[in-house]
Amino acid sequence: MNKFIEQMWELSNEVNEANLACEPIVKFDNENEQQKHQQKIHQVAIFGFNSKNNSYLGSTTQQKQVTIRHTDYPFELVFKDVLTFIPPTTLDNFVHKYGNGTKLTKGKFPHGSFNTNNVNQFLSSSEPFDHKDFYNQISRKNISDNEYQEYVDDFISLDVNGNSKFEDRWAYLEFYNIRDVECMFVPINNLIDLCWQQGIDMLSQISQSQIANSIKYNYAWEEFDINGDYNIETGNKEYKFYSEKWNKKVESYIQQDNKAGRDTTNNVTADDIDYFNQMIPNKCCYCQAKFTNVNKPTLERIDNNIAHTKDNCKLACQLCNSTRSNKVADVAKLMIQMFKYAIVKNLPMTIDDEEVYWFLRKSIHGGLSQVFHQYNIKGLTHINKLKYNPEENNVTAYDLDYIITHILDLDFNSLYPSAFCGIYNKNNPYTGGKMYMAGRVTKHIKIREANDQDYRDTKRKEMMNIINSEDRFSEEKGQLFIASVNGHIDKSHINDHINFPPIWRKRT
């Protein structure tokens, strides 16, 4: 075993050196970043088939790979199981599907016929194993006569010089182990090449779902152009600074500069309002988006070391201003363009409104299933129902006279609509008969606590216009929405609905 481990590290070192020879030289302007890059620990992958029980810790959804280091080598070994990158299958099917004609040549070897106490004596023999040595104590089966004869023919075969190929069983074990893995070389390389054709490095991934997600986003971003115009014409009214809001903005900039220790002697004043109003038609200095009542302008400092002076400020939309910050100009431009592209293409993005997040989160159900009976037997167990007693305010479970004849198990999670979204379904009348996954939050409407009845009526009308809009049936104009309403079921009608568990999951 020690010899095998030593050989494994020596071979891995050759692979690592070959990888480093192909790695491009990267130079950073920042010395710290350059040092971090040079100190990066490289990895060499070792593949197995159906080895995840030994290569991974945790659950199948939260895997932790096993990596090992050696004090004499500047890299890590990471163990990967091929089955984490493909649907469940057998080794035979894997070799057949990805091997381009490679045949599975897995031999026979009696692993259970010896132990640590007699291994040297047992494997030093120059005679073939007996047929009885192949008996499997776990499956209580032995190989067939034909399979045993194939093994014997292998063991006693001769090389081109007419000499015996195997001096002893140790030599045959080495041959068996090599042949056992040789058939996986071509399929694994083909699998890596298939991923690479999609621009995905399989060796840097940890699961099939991660690869699928990366490929999906490759397609989503294939039309992205860093110099493209991704501004949306909304038709909203052009923005204009007014005295009250402008004066508040001036005060906030003075406070911001004072806090940062910048000289505020020449900061913008209330008299500069006309100067900046004349700049509004010039659009955002970064993304060229129009300034509207929705996309409001902010003062962007040209030199971040100087305060908000008149000559040091230009107009930028809030997104560009916050994204630009103190970043390198090219990095900031990339981030801004990517964000706008995601909006245009309706790509999923993080929910940055905490109130919206918790509004959605409380409607997400998961965990233990809702089961009334843990023990159900066809033809024996009675059908069970619930009954609410309004007088005692409790729920009672009771059996009917009817016996269970069929057992139905329902399971559902977000993977199903995710897999089938975009496929027409006549049972879904909304958004053109297709199920779309939400991309981002476009608007959040809530009726706040207020005594102003006109305000409440206006908000309620705005909500109902969205709910009842004919656009919800359109694939081009329809928007997904979630509405929360306060419902009430009179006690006298509770028993009409009590056998529908989803209704009661969030009862208060």
- Residue-wise pLDDT for 114-138, tens only, equals 888 888 888 999 999 999 999 988 8
Residue-level pLDDT at 316: 94
Q: What is the pTM of this model?
A: 0.57
Residue-level pLDDT at 419: 59
Distance (Å, whole) CA 364 – CA 236: 35
Model confidence at 420, pLDDT cuts 50, 70, 90, reads low
- C-alpha separations of 372 from 115, 310, 375, 499 in Å: 51, 71, 9, 10
Higher pLDDT, 308 or 500: 308
Model confidence at 365, pLDDT cuts 50, 70, 90, reads low
Q: Which CATH number is 243-345's, of 1.20.120.420, 3.40.190.10, 3.40.50.300, 3.30.40.220?
A: 3.30.40.220
Model confidence at 507, pLDDT cuts 50, 70, 90, reads very low
pLDDT of residue 409 exceeding 80: no
Residues 156 and 164: beta-carbon distance below 8 Å: yes
Range among 3-7, 63-67, 307-311 with highest mean pLDDT value: 307-311
Residues 404 and 378: beta-carbon distance below 8 Å: yes
Higher pLDDT, 285 or 376: 285
- C-alpha separations of 291 from 51, 166, 302 in Å: 58, 82, 19
Question: So where are the chain's domains?
Answer: 3-80, 91-197, 243-345, 359-364+414-496
- Residue-wise pLDDT for 2-50, tens only, equals 777 888 899 999 999 998 888 777 777 777 777 776 677 788 988 888 8
pLDDT of residue 218 exceeding 90: no
Residue 210: name the closest of 195, 227, 220 by CA. Answer: 195
Range of lowest pLDDT (200-214, 301-315, 425-439): 425-439
Residue-level pLDDT at 377: 82
Range of lowest pLDDT (141-155, 327-341, 448-462): 448-462
Average pLDDT of the chain is 84
Distance (Å, whole) CA 271 – CA 279: 15
- Residue-wise pLDDT for 257-294, tens only, equals 999 999 999 999 999 999 999 999 989 999 999 999 88
pLDDT of residue 326 exceeding 50: yes
Higher pLDDT, 329 or 251: 251
Residue 155: name the closest of 178, 172, 139, 136 by CA. Answer: 172
Model confidence at 372, pLDDT cuts 50, 70, 90, reads low
Model confidence at 367, pLDDT cuts 50, 70, 90, reads low
Q: Token pair for residue 111?
A: 């692993």
Q: State the DSSP code for 396.
A: E
pLDDT-above-90 percentage for the chain: 26
Q: What is the mean pLDDT of residues 85-106?
A: 86
pLDDT of residue 371 exceeding 60: no
pLDDT of residue 446 exceeding 80: yes
pLDDT of residue 63 exceeding 70: no
Residue-level pLDDT at 279: 93
Q: Token pair for residue 41?
A: 């620990």
> What does the angle CA 311 – CA 312 – CA 317 come to, to the nearest 5 degrees?
115
Residue-level pLDDT at 494: 85
Which of 45-71 are b and which e, b meaning 16 or more Cβ less than 10 Å from the residue's Cβ?
bbbebebbeebbeeeeeeeebeeeeee
Distance (Å, whole) CA 317 – CA 282: 12
Which residues, other chains included, contact 284 with Cβ-Cβ below 8 Å and sequence gap of 6+? 290, 291, 295, 297, 315, 316, 317, 320
Q: Token pair for residue 508?
A: 């208060």
Model confidence at 501, pLDDT cuts 50, 70, 90, reads low
Other CB atoms within a 10 A radius of the CB of residue 138 amount to 6
pLDDT-above-70 percentage for the chain: 90
pLDDT of residue 299 exceeding 90: yes
Distance (Å, whole) CA 167 – CA 177: 16
Model confidence at 506, pLDDT cuts 50, 70, 90, reads very low
